[in-house]
Chains A and B, each alone.
Chain A
């Protein structure tokens, strides 16, 4: 563009820069400072309180296990959805619309949806009862059944969060030129070879952003857990919420926030390294 107009782009981005500075960077710094200070002087007290808390280890373990259980399954279901829908002509739009519905559903609502199925007089128990597998209402969501509760939360998360992965992956698949696969087919590559050697490498950028997005969101898991199990299964964000709202201890809440951010950032870096995307090959 002409030199005399060179201020225009800065004018255009200025509002968003100011906005992000005030409501993203500033609170970020504030959170870190809150976590590592006590009464205005640097201190590790909050971090120590956090680490010494009864629920701390449990929260870390549960959050990590949930992420490990949920994210890979979501990626696999999304890849299956993408490959299936690629073979469909008529009806493709409708199928994709149905599969994207959970995109509009909050984690709280997803928890409540699965509560209607998994509560004591709910549909799962009714089904098992009718099949003669249980004699009376089984409890899946109490603190006495941590494994069942874990699976319930994982299922609700998979149900809700797969849509976003699917959308990203289908968008990625749409950009893969058909000729590549056809060429591979001509040269005698089988279905799986084509998938692993052609399709998968070509949708790496989509895969990478889906992984980053979903993993960051998985470490933020909170409302699903609360809707299904109350405080029966501690998770990191749930602890931050409790310290902030119930205990009114902003320092320890901030310590949890910093921990979650460090984990999210680390996961993002791991994905950026592990799923290498060649910038030359970006469409």
Chain B
């Protein structure tokens, strides 16, 4: 690369520095995850082994499976999936039309609407779950997966609207107008021309909505008692759980969202480029 033109010793010293920096930062991210996985698969004996080595010893799936079979874990896992599903569906269904309106139309109140969406960013949104406890009890949404999903949608919706705006801006308006000329109605043109082109971006938006909901702790803990999501469940049983259960819980929380992030890695930067404008 650009270093090749320089005197080789100087260039290679820089290259060594660069790559060791990169290696250190990669290890900084990966090693702790590896260690918590060791904790999750090591069981009770692993936790109290002293001094520990960073090489796996006495590792088996048994302790992790045992954790999964603990009362409440499977249910909490399903509740988390449910709340995340509600969040994904609602934030795309409500956010994408708004994003489309922002991308394609100039209308009075557009700036006001953008301000409303941006305003949500300056607020710690999950905290707004506090007063919702009372209203949710009144309308029967308290301690339900749908209630949690609704609050998580508030977290994901502004993001979805801004990101889909960027996605629709990327679909040439001319294509859509051509479809109108050829006799498509507006909804037809949208679903036949725009939607397929916007699909990968929409999928990435959905994945982010999933991750936002899956990881949220505060609102989920405040709004549920018996139908806890995985984060809320872990938070409440934390104090009385043995350490290896906590590590197993941590690993179980990490796995799905890491897989999802992997699935959308190509869109990460484009999406954040858009949404941070």
Contacts and interface: CB of A to CB of B under 8 A. Distances in A.
Asked if A pairs with B, the answer is yes
Interface stretch (A41-49, A108-116, A193-201): A108-116
B29 A108 contact: no
B101 A8 contact: yes
B249 interface: yes
B56 interface: no
Contacts of A222: 217-218
A16 B33 contact: no
Interface in A77-98: 77, 80-81, 84-85, 87-89, 93, 95-98
A36 interface: no
Contacts of B124: 216-217, 219-220, 237, 257, 260-261, 264
A146 interface: no
A275 interface: no
A39 to B, nearest CB: 14
Contacts of B106: 1
B107 A104 contact: no
Contacts of B218: 220, 222-223, 237, 241
Contact of B30 (A89, A98, A121, A254): A98
A20 B51 contact: no
A212 B277 CA distance: 12
Given A244-B222, A260-B124, A93 B211 contact: no
B228 to A, nearest CB: 12
A6 B109 CA distance: 12
Interface string B236-277: 001100010011011001100110111001001110110011
| Chain B interface size range | 35 or more
Contacts of A19: 90, 94, 153-154, 157
A34 B131 contact: yes
A267 B273 CA distance: 22
A223 B234 CA distance: 10
Interface in B107-131: 107, 109-110, 113, 116-117, 120-131
B154 A106 contact: no
Given A28-B128, A99-B26, A102-B29, A116 B53 contact: no
Contacts of A206: 276
A104 B260 contact: yes
B222 A241 contact: yes
A140 to B, nearest CB: 14
Contacts, number: 289
Contact of B265 (A97, A170, A245): A97
A113 to B, nearest CB: 4
Interface residues of A, number: 99
Contact of A121 (B52, B100, B253, B272): B52
B134 A250 contact: yes
Contacts of A125: 51
A161 interface: no
A114 B238 contact: no
B269 A174 contact: yes
Given A17-B116, A240-B127, 15 more contacts: A8-B105, A20-B120, A96-B268, A97-B262, A101-B33, A106-B253, A108-B231, A115-B243, A129-B51, A159-B28, A174-B269, A222-B217, A245-B221, A257-B124, A264-B122
Interface of A: 1, 6, 8-10, 12-13, 15-17, 19-20, 23-24, 27-28, 30-31, 34, 77, 80-81, 84-85, 87-89, 93, 95-109, 111-117, 119, 121-123, 125-126, 129-130, 137, 159, 163, 167-168, 170-172, 174-175, 205-206, 209-210, 212-213, 216-217, 219-220, 222-223, 226-227, 230, 237, 240-241, 244-245, 250, 253-254, 257, 260-261, 264-265, 268, 282-283
14 contacts: A10-B101, A17-B113, A27-B132, A31-B128, A104-B215, A108-B231, A112-B247, A113-B36, A116-B32, A116-B250, A217-B124, A223-B235, A230-B238, A241-B221
